[in-house]
Amino acid sequence: MLSFGKFIKTEKLSYRSFQKNFGKSINFRAPSMFLEILRRKAENAGGYLYQFSTIKTCLSQTCICGKRKKKKLTTRWHICECGVKAQRDLFSSYLSRYVENDVLDISSAKKDYGSGVQSLLEQAISKTAQTMQRRVVPSSFGLFQKNGLLVKDKSRLNKIKDVVG
């Protein structure tokens, strides 16, 4: 991960909630230990790991137009009337670039979004679809959702791959 950059931002997660939802299997995956190792390595490389509040920022509910819309966890695509359509986690990670001191600078995110970010997000989901072509794709990716609803016809995967060309 540090080969992509030494300044890392991530949402502050509740590991106690993970334990409630996933039981003992969370011990095998150890997300807290992973982030601690990542923080240490980032600091050794002259960077940092910044964790911000999910409650204060609400990135998965926020659009660059400033509107907030609560979504079910099963809704994996961010679709807004302003024309923004992106995979929910990718869009949230884009917005995280503009979080400082637990505050989202929506005006900067909106200004920079017009410079080709939509196509970058489409390329990222297309590359994910190509990578996962021969593997089982987790439903959390939302590759088989259309307008927030699950699509049983997996030919949508080819349409996603065609977005990039």
Between the two ends of the chain, the Cα-to-Cα distance in Å is 27
Long-range contacts, stretch 24-31, CB < 8 angstroms, 24+ apart:
none
pLDDT tens for the 165 residues of the chain, in order: 888 889 999 888 877 777 787 777 777 777 888 889 999 999 999 999 999 998 899 999 999 999 999 988 888 889 999 988 888 889 999 999 999 999 999 999 999 887 788 888 888 888 877 776 666 666 666 666 554 444 444 444 444 444 443
- The residue written with tokens 């995956």 in the block is 29
Q: Distance between CA atoms of 2 and 47, rounded to whole angstroms?
A: 9
Identify the CA nearest to 40 among candidates 13, 1, 11.
1
Token output for 165: 């060309």
Q: Distance between CA atoms of 62 and 110, rounded to whole angstroms?
A: 11
Looking at residue 156, its pLDDT comes to: 45
Looking at residue 144, its pLDDT comes to: 61
Which residues lie closer than 8 Å to 94 by C-beta, 6 or more apart?
86, 109, 113, 117, 121
Looking at residue 61, its pLDDT comes to: 93
Residues 37-60: b if buried by 16+ CB within 10 A, e if exposed: ebbeebeeeebebbebebeebebb
pTM of the model: 0.74
Q: Residue 79: what residue type?
A: I
Which residues lie closer than 8 Å to 8 by C-beta, 6 or more apart?
1, 38, 42, 47, 48, 49, 50
